Amino acid sequence: MSRSSKPLPATADAPSLRLAPSILSADFARLGEEVRAIEAAGADIVHFDVMDNHYVPNLTIGPQVCEAIRPHVKIPIDVHLMVEPVDALVPLFAKAGANYITFHPDASRHVDRTLQLIRAHGCKAGIVLNPATPLSWMDHVMDKLDLVLLMSVNPGFGGQAFIPATLQKLREARRRIDAHVAAGGQPIWLEVDGGVKMDNIGEIVRAGADICVAGSAIFGAADAAGSYRGVMTGLRQAAATPA
């Protein structure tokens, strides 16, 4: 499947908020069916969490699983690398069908080089900032970023509670991105991952998020027919509700 060379813009036909269900919370025994179900329910992106039991205390999935689900969906696959080192996995996930690849800058010896490597393999590139990781990591690589992912939990496990201090960090990241774009820079998506629920997604979006990753909030809320359309519609409505 070909990968787009352009960021996904917000238009009248495409809402500024994009929902990215994290398959970390899916039923792995029927993963193809699960990703087809979230696409049919209106998901914009498949979020793919890669953990190595080294950078984070958990072990999940690799390029072969990404390659296996790629034919099941047309929407982009966003691969979040919670691994150390990073660079050796980039070409493998690009070949497996990733559209976006993000990594933690503290897990790479050369952040600029890793961003270039991701782009050279035809994917959109981004960095991931943990709750205590400063936004200053963005400053010298803004021209090579297609997205910035803010972790609103500590990486490693699904089902954690949202860390409230992320909201102010989101506002500041939004300010930096908007200033970069206003100065003629490329668009950069701002993504949030961790503890996103019906009762906080409105605050998260108002703070500046373009993409919300949700795992258990979506995969734990299928209707009787096994559809996720109801919960995703509910999340969009909650995100659009004024404060």
Q: Is residue 14 predicted with pLDDT exceeding 70?
A: no
Q: Is residue 10 predicted with pLDDT exceeding 60?
A: no
Q: What integer pLDDT is reported at residue 157 of this predicted model?
A: 82
Q: What integer pLDDT is reported at residue 11 of this predicted model?
A: 33
Average the pLDDT over 207-233 and give the result. Answer: 95
CATH number, domain at 105? 3.20.20.70
- Inside any domain, residue 43: yes
- Inside any domain, residue 8: no
- Inside any domain, residue 9: no
Residues taking part in catalysis = 49, 193
- pLDDT tens sequence across 168-204: 999 999 999 999 999 999 999 999 999 999 999 999 9
Q: What integer pLDDT is reported at residue 1 of this predicted model?
A: 39
- pLDDT grade for 215, boundaries at 50, 70 and 90: very high
Domain total in the chain: 1
Averaged pLDDT score across all residues of the chain: 93
Q: What integer pLDDT is reported at residue 3 of this predicted model?
A: 45
Q: What integer pLDDT is reported at residue 13 of this predicted model?
A: 34
- Inside any domain, residue 102: yes
Q: What integer pLDDT is reported at residue 7 of this predicted model?
A: 41
Q: What integer pLDDT is reported at residue 2 of this predicted model?
A: 38
Q: Is residue 5 predicted with pLDDT exceeding 90?
A: no
- pLDDT grade for 243, boundaries at 50, 70 and 90: confident
Average the pLDDT over 83-103 and give the result. Answer: 98
- Inside any domain, residue 203: yes
Q: Is residue 16 predicted with pLDDT exceeding 80?
A: no
> Worst-scoring range by mean pLDDT, 7-11, 83-87, 93-97, 184-188?
7-11
- Inside any domain, residue 113: yes
- pLDDT grade for 242, boundaries at 50, 70 and 90: confident
In 40-74, which positions are buried (b, 16+ CB within 10 angstroms) versus exposed (e)? ebebbbbbbbbbbeebbeeebbebebbeebbeebe
Q: Is residue 6 predicted with pLDDT exceeding 80?
A: no
Average the pLDDT over 38-43 and give the result. Answer: 98
- Inside any domain, residue 11: no
Average the pLDDT over 198-215 and give the result. Answer: 97
Token code pair at residue 191: 């993504």
Q: Which domain holds residue 224?
A: 18-240
Residue position matching structure tokens 């069908």: 97
Q: Is residue 4 predicted with pLDDT exceeding 50?
A: no
- Inside any domain, residue 116: yes
